[in-house]
Amino acid sequence: MYFHEAETLERGKLEELQVQRLKKTIEQAANSPYYSEVFKKNSIDPSVIKTADDITKLPFTTKDDLRSQYPYGLLTQPLDNFVRLHASSGTTGTPTAILYTQKDLDTWADLMARSMYSVGLRKSDIFQNMSGYGLFTGGLGIHYGAERLGCLTVPAGAGNTKRQIKLIRDFNVTGLHIIPSFALYFAAKVREEGFDPAEMPWKVALIGAEPHTEHTRRKIEELMHIKAYNSYGLSEMNGPGVAFECLEQNGMHVWEDSYIAEIINPETGEHVADGEVGELVMTTLTREGMPIIRYRTRDLTRFIPGECKCGRTSRRIDRIMGRADDMLILKGVNIYPMQIEKIIMGIPEVGQNYLIELIKEGLMDQIRVKVEIKEEYFIEDMRALQGIQKKIAGMLRDEILITPRVELVQHNSIPKSEGKAVRVVDLRDEE
């Protein structure tokens, strides 16, 4: 079984465990060149931690800090003790690299197995990982978790839709890991290949790696005839398996015996009240080789107040609503791309894809939203199309407070990616 006793610890006991592990984490981190200097500068040692709230006495760590220490400045042990690394692409500058000891990998696999167990997957399931492998943590992280749980694991990787369908059918795959935007595309391709998604063997899909709305999740479930569960992870905290939904589908449980989660005001750095949206800050508690303390993820979410019906006592975070650095400012209005997706994906006539383009209209910045329309609605009756166009523009105006240009396009006309979807394109320098 992969239901850990820590998942139902009384809150006080859980915080005692966090304090114990945070002190050990500080001791370990002090062995790294980076944190050794930071702790000396701020006169920090484990004695400053007496309660879980005392984590606020520790300084934040940012992505720029990680980049400045590339490649080995955060390691707490000799390089010979490390057995794997994952890294960001680094296509636009210095990448970030995360290195793991064997114990770190074992801990990560256990957390991932626990996550999969929480959504109903068991040893008897056959699991297909439709994620890219390599430096991206979503491939190997989930693969090792599935094997740790005991599932027969199919390392299909990304792309090659026909092969994915054949593997699912031939081996009666019951569990999938798939990126949300690709799931919408994949459901359409299954039908194009002549198969009814309702007759496919799958039962459970793990979706994550990119922000998505509840409407998108429900659309995936409807199109694929599957239960889709949201997850959260980031390479700085190992990768996937940081927080996961349970069968209730009402927020993602943070595995608080391995992480401390905080939500702060991005501007002030102060904690926000439960239920209020802010920036997620994460601290590792069980990683020995490269612990990271108070990492500013830039991801926007909130703690969900109250207890979960599943009985787990760990705090839950809401789905990621975007990134603090993804905010668009047009005509003095703050806009997050997820606000636009929330509206678009809830409209019945809309298909599986959309694209937000930032353009120039004269000297003014403007948003153009290209929206794929389902084939049955994309007809020659211009009045009908204009009605859909006006409805979408009006609903978006009510949400984002400015009126975007809405362009309706045919089904499957917007280019799709088998990796993370590109949802925003800045064309202002081209027009």
Q: Which long-range contacts (CB under 8 A, 24 or more apart) does 1-4 make?
A: 1/117, 2/110, 2/113, 2/114, 2/116, 2/117, 2/148, 2/149, 3/114, 3/117, 3/118, 4/114, 4/257
pTM of the entire predicted model: 0.84
Say if CB 181 and CB 415 are below 8 A apart: no
Residues β-bridged to residue 43: none
The answer to whether domain 1-324 and domain 327-426 are alike in fold is no
Amino acid identity at 37: E
Half-sphere exposure of 1 (CA within 13 A, CB side): 4
Omega before 71 within 30 of 0, i.e. cis: yes
Per-residue pLDDT of 22-53, as tens digits, reads 999 999 999 999 999 999 999 999 999 999 99
Phi then psi for residue 418, to 5 deg, are: -85, -5
**Extents of the domains making up the chain:** 1-324, 327-426
Give the pLDDT confidence score for residue 91 in this predicted structure: 46
- Identify the architecture of domain 327-426 in CATH: 2-Layer Sandwich (3.30)
Which CATH fold topology does 1-324 show?
Rossmann fold (3.40.50)
Residues β-bridged to residue 281: 262, 296
* Cα 255 to Cα 3, 49, 113, 315, distances in angstroms: 12, 20, 12, 8
* Cα 80 to Cα 72, 100, 235, 355, distances in angstroms: 12, 11, 21, 46
Per-residue pLDDT of 165-189, as tens digits, reads 999 999 999 999 999 988 988 999 9
Q: What is the rounded average pLDDT for all residues in the chain?
A: 92
